[in-house]
Structure 1
Amino acid sequence: MQKLWTPSSEFIKNSHLTHYKSWLKDAKNLSFDSYDELWQWSVNKTEDFWVSIWEYFNIKSYTSYTQVLSSPTMPECKWFNGATLNYAEHIFRQSKGNDTAIYFSNESGINLEISWNELERKVASMAFYLKSLGVQKGDCVVAYLPNVPEATIAFLAVNALGAIWSSTSPDFGTESVVNRFAQIQPKVLIAVDGYRYNNKPFDKTETVKEIISSLPTLEKVIVLPYLNENASDNFSKDIITTNTIFEMDGGTLHFEPVDFNHPIWVLYSSGTTGLPKAIVHSHGGILLEHYKYMAFHNDVHEGERFFWFTTTGWMMWNFLQSALLMGASIVLYDGSPTHPSFEFLWKLSDDIGINHFGTSAPYLVANMKKQLDIKSNHKLNTIRSISSTGAPLPLEAFDYVYNNIKEDVWLCSMAGGTDVCTAFVGGVPFYDVHSGEIQCRALGVSLYALDDLGSPIEDDLGEMVIDKPMPSMPIFFWNDKDNARYKASYFEDYPGKWRHGDFIQINSETKGLVIHGRSDATLNRHGIRIGTSEIYRAVNKIEAIEDALILNLELEGGKHYMPLFVKLKTNNVLTEEVKQAINNQLKSDYSPRHVPDEIIEVADIPYTISGKKMEAPIKKILLKMPIEKSINIDAMRNPESVAFFIEFAKKI
């Protein structure tokens, strides 16, 4: 693996992780010569590690905990029993008066700065109004909002009351929203009238009305007039706007103490093959995990500006809010990342002075495929880290970042999930960045690659498994009797251990990791397991190809069929020469086993709304499983793309 970046001695010295190591030595008489030693301690002494996080970040609890961990067995374990606290209160401990807490920009050209004082005032007003409606500890408040300051304000207000937050973005359709929110019986809905994307207006008034009529437990609806300032005229007179609420005098912002294991929010699985799982996390678990990750793995400092391109329907929106815990400012952007130009987000970085730039792997790959020379067009002086998640970042994209974006930058490829609202693996300021590798296993994450016999392995492909509990693991799934669905999702294959569904390889020398794609969409060719990311990495090198999807179908009689579906760039044709180039690239980079049985052109590659390539659902369709049990069309970003595969399945 090629070394692309080495942290300077100053970078290491000034990191939160160095300060934490010094604190461990002074406060706990614990010394570690390397990050790997520190990680080993954090997973071998699970309770001691999380107590150290509690003490290091000076967690404010209204009552003392009586037990750190009720049981080492997942998923029954409970953390810090007896403790009562509030997540939002810890954010406002960082309040810095007139300094900026939120930077906001959208593709319509609106640019706002919201100070800590203004943020607290508006949160107090929203909390005051929600309380006047009778919203209290344990009630659910849901939001159908874009990535705007009002979403952050509403979340903090709901959280301050001890109520439970849940959100989706306005690109979700009615059924997709109702499938999520109806499960948790919300008391209040906060909705937007519409939004703009790629300079096109999308009026969501009728969608909001349909959502309202489908949620019988709603007692009040609040509308954000975003597309049209007179949007409230399109609703009943009982509707109140966010603007009206923010004009109220909410007085002093109060925080309701809740149990450590009290729900903080409900997130949802993609719901590609059925009703989305309603995943519930705890106040305390998320608080400890986000402190840990923001400080030690993103190294976010007070006064810095932390950006992530996300919507409110992706867990990274929730993760983004936690930068406020560090006294940093969060940067929100609403709109297309490529409008009015493909390089707009990089321009935004220069304009605002972003220090930590977060995005998805597909966005960086798209930049690479267009061969954009970002460093020649933008200064990017303030950026010191670029973070990537959402899909494995291919080796070539690592090289692209350093060659075409910024030479001296800390590239933090990370991977985790909605399941834990954080990353299992990611960046660390002590290690070099090697091409194609995620730097480390995060502190407190007892993660290993297991072979077919269930034994830990290194330097070879294995199943990603976590064998110790983490505080940010779900406390339960909503409406899941006896934790049946929860247990089936993670613990069936390895009892007592969390199987995440990814294939990984751990480098024994660098301690870095490579994720090879989802294990439930694994390609098994003649007994050899192939990660889908390997195929995509090679295909990405072919100039004519914009995107691809690879599957391996296990057919009757022990036969296998591995088709590669490709989406071509505009004005390109799938000629025999292009097919041969793909096959040659796969043979050259990997092996003849990586060569597909057939290469087929498609108009589009199916994706979930949250940007996940839908390998497993399409595989089920091609295996002729019932459509209704194979895929949830309403959970898709581009549902029209499925029609091709339904027809194609008839030919197999």
Structure 2
Amino acid sequence: MTAIEPSWLPDPARVQQTRIVRFAQWLVGQGRASLDDVTDYRALHAWSVASPGDFWAAVADFFGVDWETPPRCALAEHRMPGAEWFPGGTLNFGRHLLRAGDDDQDAVILVAETGERSSITYGELRAQAAAVAGRLRGLGVAPGDRVAAYLPNCVEGVVAFVATALVGAVWAQTGLDYAAPSAAQRMAQLSPRVLITGSGYRFGGKVHDRRDDARQLRELLPELRHTITVETAGLTNPADGPDASTWAEALAAEPAADGLAVGFDHPLWVLFTSGTTGRPKGVVHGHGGVLLEQLVSPGLHMDLRAGDVFFWFTTPNWMMWNAQVCGLLHGATIVLYDGRPTWPGPDALWRLVADLGVAVFGTSPGYLEASQRAGLAPGRELGLSALRLVGVTGSVLPGTANAWFREHVSPQVQLGSMSGGTDIVGIFVASAPTTPVYDGEISAPALGAAVQVWHPEGGRARVGVPGEMVITEPMPSMPLHFWDDPDGQKLRDTYFDMFPGVWRHGDLTMMTERGTVVILGRSDATINRHGVRLGSAEIYAAISDLPEVADALVVGVEEPDGGYWLPLFVVPNGDGRPAELVSRIRRHIVERTSPRHVPDEVILLPSLPHTKTGKRLEVPVKRILQGADPERVIDRGAVDDPAALDMLITSARERRREP
């Protein structure tokens, strides 16, 4: 068998300068680990999961975690769920966000799709966060109280989050693109004391006025005590009533003293699941766990450094907003974007990367594929000399995107695919500066993540055999608990129902003989055709380089009579001949996968629905196609295009001849 060669290899000279190698050298020098080759990622990872307590303690020491009270040990209870990390230790996450950057260095830059920019320096961030923290305390916000935000990407959102962390309150956020009832479905669970609301956001060349929704949201939060209004997208947002005040008043408040020291597991924020298949679950993370994970993820895996410009295209609805803000931990300048990523043209984000000298750029496979279909050549047309890493997450990255990237962006820049999630606000599998890149594969399990692939009935699957992604050792950023889950049953049902004591993440995954990871799709949407398990990602990858395909969704539907239906919904790109497009799609899938992967039907639609964070709705669509009531299966408020959802439901009912 011919060995598969990597498509990208680390530059040995550059590797020696990376923080992950300095970390490995430090471990050896301190006598904490025995590593024959400090550039050997596999050896470093093996040590990190064999001794999780030692690894995470080393992370805390290497990055100089500022303990108010030192912990008694690193890992007191070695179990899942219920691991006890750094007992007795106290610290404050907000303090760590403010300690790295120079006063005159830009901390946050906001770029609107119109090209308008605003920014604040680290010195201004420190002063504004202290003032807003003082305002929150003046409003009676105590440790553990919730502060909710209904904001677009904006500088004020970052300041408000840091201030919330400083006072020990709990942060939660939804974007302004959520209608008030959908935002309330999330926020009302938390009974927030203070709400911070914007007035509008930009998308697709328009300013979307959300002031009426902001007022409605206030009425839907019965225990709310106060609202702070923020002017966003150029729309005024005056405070109305005695229980409201403006952002300007918050900035004028008496600054709070240094951040309150809280326990390692003190709640920092609540992140919500997509809510497409039921009431959104609130995932609670703590100050210490998030801090350690976000020291490792961008600090070691992305090699993010002080002074770097860090831009990850995201919205406030996605955990990547939280991860982007954590770039402040490393003294980076973080970039927020308010707008559509392809407005006014498909190269909008690439131009931003060039103009700001971005070093680490995060995006989605969808944006890379859209760039490919548009015939872009950013590496030739723009100055990308500062770029070191393009990180990709949110869905599976097809191998064709790697080839396009090397040719049209840069053969020197690393294209690092990674996967993790809201569950740990971090990564389970990823690249590192010391790992090669293979097309269509993720380089390795992340440091501290004991990732394995198991058979559904239990036990480790052989190399090359798909199975369930599991994590066999605890990580400090695993959820403290779910909101409104006093006995922990929802959490156990979500992660530990299949394998007691072992985290099942829900991804259909395969390990290769190279130690790389291939994610084939969500395991609860696995295609099981004639007894053979197929991954939806394989089908998407097979058609990813067809310029005539703008979007696609495939599901495998078990039918009541024992039959199996495999439809592929496709959004055509342009006005071609439908029959020719369908034929070409089928041919591509046969040539690049197998005849088993060819859909029973290719159904052309003008658009497809996604979650608010752009993910495909495979599971709810599958249930709808099995005949479930759409109103019971999916929350329309959590869908980016409800009209597209209606079209898909109609096509399914027509296929089944339902009314």
TM-score for both structures, normalised by structure 1 = 0.97
Q: How does 1:192-207 map to 2 (within 5 A)?
A: 192-207=198-213
How far is the alpha carbon of 1:482 from its aligned partner? 0.8
How far is the alpha carbon of 1:250 from its aligned partner? 3.3
Q: 1:649 aligns with which of 638, 652, 659?
A: 652
Corresponding position: 1:257 with 2:261: yes
Q: Is the 8 A contact 2:132 2:255 kept in 1?
A: no
Corresponding position: 1:480 with 2:485: yes
Question: Which residue in the other structure is 2:454 paired with?
Answer: 450
Corresponding position: 1:570 with 2:574: yes
Q: Which 10-residue stretch deviates more, 174-183 or 367-376?
A: 367-376
Q: 1:148 aligns with which of 132, 150, 154?
A: 154
C-alpha distance after superposition, 1:98-155 (max 9, x if no partner): 1221222112332123111111111111111111101121010010111111110000
How far is the alpha carbon of 1:628 from its aligned partner? 2.9
Corresponding position: 1:617 with 2:623: no
Question: Which residue in the other structure is 2:536 paired with?
Answer: 532
C-alpha distance after superposition, 1:263-318 (max 9, x if no partner): 00000000111100000001000001110112110100111111111111110000
Calculate percent identity across the aligned residue pairs.
37
Corresponding position: 1:56 with 2:30: no
Give the paired residue count. Answer: 648
Q: 1:3 to 1:183 in 2, by over 3 A?
A: same
Question: Which residue in the other structure is 2:176 paired with?
Answer: 170
Q: Is the 8 A contact 1:21 1:31 kept in 2?
A: no
How far is the alpha carbon of 1:460 from its aligned partner? 2.3
1:491 and 1:573 mapped to 2: Cα distance? 48
1:238 and 1:563 mapped to 2: Cα distance? 53
Question: Which residue in the other structure is 2:107 paired with?
Answer: 101
2:70 and 2:380 mapped to 1: Cα distance? 55
Q: Is the 8 A contact 1:291 1:325 kept in 2?
A: yes
> Which consecutive aligned stretches of 4+ in structure 1 deviate over 6 angstroms post-superposition?
none
1:460 and 1:512 mapped to 2: Cα distance? 13
Corresponding position: 1:308 with 2:312: yes
1:188 and 1:65 mapped to 2: Cα distance? 32
Question: Which residue in the other structure is 1:505 paired with?
Answer: 510
Q: 1:114 to 1:55 in 2, by over 3 A?
A: same
Q: 1:430 aligns with which of 426, 429, 434?
A: 434
How far is the alpha carbon of 1:333 from its aligned partner? 1.5
Q: Which 10-residue stretch deviates more, 133-142 or 51-60?
A: 51-60
Could you tell me which amino acid in structure 2 is paired with residue 80 of structure 1? F
Q: 1:330 to 1:227 in 2, by over 3 A?
A: closer
C-alpha distance after superposition, 1:22-72 (max 9, x if no partner): 111111252223211111111111111111112111211122222422322
C-alpha distance after superposition, 1:374-423 (max 9, x if no partner): 22211111111101100011111111111111221011111011111011
1:224 and 1:108 mapped to 2: Cα distance? 20
Q: 1:42 aligns with which of 48, 51, 70?
A: 48
Could you tell me which amino acid in structure 2 is paired with residue 272 of structure 1? T
Q: How does 1:102-121 map to 2 (within 5 A)?
A: 102-121=108-127
Q: Is the 8 A contact 1:103 1:331 kept in 2?
A: yes
1:165 and 1:299 mapped to 2: Cα distance? 27
Q: Which 10-residue stretch deviates more, 165-174 or 542-551?
A: 542-551
Question: Which residue in the other structure is 1:8 paired with?
Answer: 11
2:238 aligns to what SS in structure 1? helix
Could you tell me which amino acid in structure 2 is paired with residue 597 of structure 1? D
How far is the alpha carbon of 1:237 from its aligned partner? 5.8
Corresponding position: 1:31 with 2:15: no
Q: Is the 8 A contact 1:2 1:435 kept in 2?
A: no
How far is the alpha carbon of 1:606 from its aligned partner? 1.6
C-alpha distance after superposition, 1:137-193 (max 9, x if no partner): 101001011111111000000000011001111111112100100001100000101
1:551 and 1:223 mapped to 2: Cα distance? 43
2:646 and 2:120 mapped to 1: Cα distance? 45
Corresponding position: 1:598 with 2:601: yes
Q: Which 10-residue stretch deviates more, 153-162 or 448-457?
A: 448-457
Question: Which residue in the other structure is 1:70 paired with?
Answer: 76
How far is the alpha carbon of 1:198 from its aligned partner? 1.3
Q: Is the 8 A contact 1:621 1:645 kept in 2?
A: no
Q: How does 1:59-458 map to 2 (within 5 A)?
A: 59-232=65-238, 235-236=240-241, 238-246=243-251, 248=252, 250-251=254-255, 253-456=257-460, 457-458=462-463
C-alpha distance after superposition, 1:550-574 (max 9, x if no partner): 1111113431111111111132342
Q: Which 10-residue stretch deviates more, 178-187 or 534-543?
A: 534-543
Question: Which residue in the other structure is 2:632 paired with?
Answer: 629
Could you tell me which amino acid in structure 2 is paired with residue 647 of structure 1? T
| Runs (5+) with no aligned partner, structure 1 | none
1:307 aligns to what SS in structure 2? strand
Q: How does 1:579-590 map to 2 (within 5 A)?
A: 579-590=582-593
Question: Which residue in the other structure is 1:22 paired with?
Answer: 25
1:51 and 1:177 mapped to 2: Cα distance? 38
Could you tell me which amino acid in structure 2 is paired with residue 369 of structure 1? R
2:295 aligns to what SS in structure 1? helix
Q: Is the 8 A contact 2:101 2:332 kept in 1?
A: no
How far is the alpha carbon of 1:238 from its aligned partner? 4.3
Q: Is the 8 A contact 2:146 2:190 kept in 1?
A: yes
The CA RMSD measured in Å over matched residues stands at 1.5
2:358 aligns to what SS in structure 1? coil
Could you tell me which amino acid in structure 1 is paired with residue 225 of structure 2? E
1:28 aligns to what SS in structure 2? coil
1:146 and 1:249 mapped to 2: Cα distance? 24
2:554 and 2:519 mapped to 1: Cα distance? 16
Q: 2:518 aligns with which of 483, 497, 514?
A: 514
Q: Is the 8 A contact 2:553 2:569 kept in 1?
A: yes
Question: Which residue in the other structure is 1:465 paired with?
Answer: 470
Could you tell me which amino acid in structure 2 is paired with residue 188 of structure 1? V
How far is the alpha carbon of 1:253 from its aligned partner? 4.5
C-alpha distance after superposition, 1:412-459 (max 9, x if no partner): 111011111011111111121111111111111000111244222322
1:615 and 1:496 mapped to 2: Cα distance? 28
Q: Is the 8 A contact 1:120 1:253 kept in 2?
A: no
How far is the alpha carbon of 1:252 from its aligned partner? 6.0
2:101 and 2:525 mapped to 1: Cα distance? 46
Corresponding position: 1:561 with 2:565: yes
Could you tell me which amino acid in structure 1 is paired with residue 131 of structure 2? S
Q: Is the 8 A contact 2:267 2:284 kept in 1?
A: yes
1:431 and 1:67 mapped to 2: Cα distance? 32
1:302 and 1:543 mapped to 2: Cα distance? 40
Q: 1:546 to 1:29 in 2, by over 3 A?
A: closer
1:101 aligns to what SS in structure 2? strand
Q: 1:238 to 1:186 in 2, by over 3 A?
A: closer
2:375 aligns to what SS in structure 1? coil
| Runs (5+) with no aligned partner, structure 2 | none
Could you tell me which amino acid in structure 2 is paired with residue 299 of structure 1? D
2:133 aligns to what SS in structure 1? helix
2:607 and 2:305 mapped to 1: Cα distance? 41
TM-score for both structures, normalised by structure 2 = 0.96
How far is the alpha carbon of 1:220 from its aligned partner? 0.6
Q: Is the 8 A contact 1:622 1:645 kept in 2?
A: no
